[in-house]
Amino acid sequence: MQIALKWMPFSMLNIAINSHQNWPRVSPRIIELMRRGAEIGLELATSPLFLDALEGVNFKGNSTDDLHDDPVIQAKHRRAIRASVLHWLNAIIEAPDQAVAPYSVDEAVDSTADMYQSQAAQMLQKNSHSIQNIAWQYWMKIVFQLTKEPLELQQLLELSSISIRSFSEDSLQLGMERLEQIEASRKRSGIEEQIDLVTRIIDGQDIDITRTSHSLNYSIKQPHHSAIVWSEEIDTEISALETVAAVFQKACQQTESLKIIVSPSVIWVWASAEFSVNERLLETVLKQHENVRISFGSGSSGLDGFRRAHLDAQAAQRVLGRLKSNIQLVSYERVRLMAFLSKDAKSIQHYSEHVLGELAQAPATVRQSLHAFLECGCNATEAAKKLHTHRNTLLRRLAKAEEMLPRPLAENRIQVAVALEALYWIL
């Protein structure tokens, strides 16, 4: 009996779990076991392994670049998960045989609405169920530490399942009500229309450039820098993010930019890429705002450049999320290699073409010569031996390869070597 119940998914337990049904009457012994289990759970709830398990099933999108890599979502839902679990456990300690009042963390619901938009309700429900099932697995481990008596286990599991399910369903309902409030507020303020328009561009939809530029009061036809300004700390004021967003505009040497406040903790920015981004200026202001972070990327002109610049900024942000990095300022160029290493063959091709320029389409013998030269520690004699080629022939090919590279080899050896290695396997 113990083994069968221990690993049974919460959703498949054949126990009455209607949150509106009468609660079972249990003995003082079962009430005390519930209270004791909640006390054990309080210690477990502060464990990084427990929170990692909950986060591991939480907020994964359908794309290969999952939204759970976003450091803002990570921080908000880490806080929300901890708060919800502690709320339930503390309520059980106080009144083990009573329904736990629903609990919803607004900032977690808000970020779901910001990132998933039209699918927010479905994602909120999906993730609520996922967290519930993981929490139930941990609770069962606690239950089987408390008693081995079959009848006590049956009653304890019945009370636990009703309590957890009713708390989860009622809390989810609070979240759904919050989503409705957010949608109504956006319609009144006009923010929803602006975010929707930008999202359509990012999603690759073909829209009218002139009309869009007019609606956003920003020229889509120009080349673009794009930044994501964010904070993972709950007490960071939106004014701090707006300050950094304004400095990004100055760092691009522009008097105008497009700024969209996606949420109280995230701002998207676009500015003309006529000039390079002055990172030193950004570093100076970030020292005054330790909780604010910024990632940026650059793109060509038009809709594709607008989209590419934002996606590169987003990719850089998510690299920091995956690596749990505390770095405040990052450009996609700085982490392009790290972003590419976790992606598919198409992304590898894109990375290699960016780093190698014309060399990516050069004859295989030219690429292979440079590849061997780098593998041999930039020793031309050894590389010639490895390729069974005369040294002078190798030197001519190396000179040709150097001419094709967008940047001098001496300044970019590591990335060129990785790009050539990638092409070796995919071409």
DSSP 237-291: -HHHHHHHHHHHHHHTT-S--EEEEEETTEEEEEEE-SS---HHHHHHHHTT-TT
Domain 348-426 class?
A: mainly alpha
Rounded Cα distance between 270 and 194, Å, is: 14
Rounded Cα distance between 374 and 380, Å, is: 9
Cβ–Cβ under 8 Å, residues 114 and 59: no
Query: Residue 328's closest CA among 408, 231, 393, 418?
Result: 231
Q: Which residues of 136-157 are buried (b: 16+ CB within 10 A; e: fewer)?
A: bebbbebbbebbeeeebbebbb
Question: Can you give the residue ranges of every domain in the chain?
Answer: 2-189, 192-338, 348-426
Measure Cα distances from 312 to 228, 233, 342, 365 in Å: 10, 23, 14, 32
Rounded Cα distance between 397 and 362, Å, is: 11
* Exposure of 77 in the CB half-sphere (CA atoms within 13 A): 28
H/E segment holding residue 378: none
Query: Per DSSP, what are the bridge partners of residue 329?
Result: 294
Per the listing, tokens 């929803």 go with: 192
pLDDT tens digits for the chain (427 residues)?
232 333 334 443 333 333 445 677 889 999 999 999 999 988 887 777 776 666 555 544 444 445 556 787 777 777 888 888 889 999 999 999 899 999 887 777 777 776 666 677 777 787 788 778 878 888 988 999 999 899 999 999 999 999 999 999 998 888 888 888 777 766 655 566 788 889 889 988 888 899 889 889 899 999 999 999 999 888 888 999 999 999 999 999 999 999 998 888 899 999 999 999 999 999 999 999 999 999 999 999 999 999 999 999 999 898 888 767 788 999 998 888 777 665 655 677 788 888 999 999 999 999 999 999 998 999 999 999 999 999 999 999 999 999 999 999 988 898 899 888 877 766 6
**Nearest-5° angle of CA 71, CA 76, CA 78?**
90
Query: What is the chain's Cα-based Rg?
Result: 27
Helix, strand, coil percent content, the chain, rounded in steps of 5: 65, 10, 25
198, amino acid identity: V
pLDDT at 269: 97
pLDDT at 67: 52
Which residues are CB-neighbours of 198 under 8 A, at least 6 positions away?
216, 260, 268
Alpha helices in 324-410 (DSSP H): 332-341, 345-356, 364-375, 380-387, 391-404
Measure Cα distances from 298 to 119, 126, 235, 345 in Å: 29, 35, 30, 22
The pair of three-digit structure tokens given for residue 292, joined into one six-digit string: 């604010």
Architecture of domain 192-338: 2-Layer Sandwich (3.30)
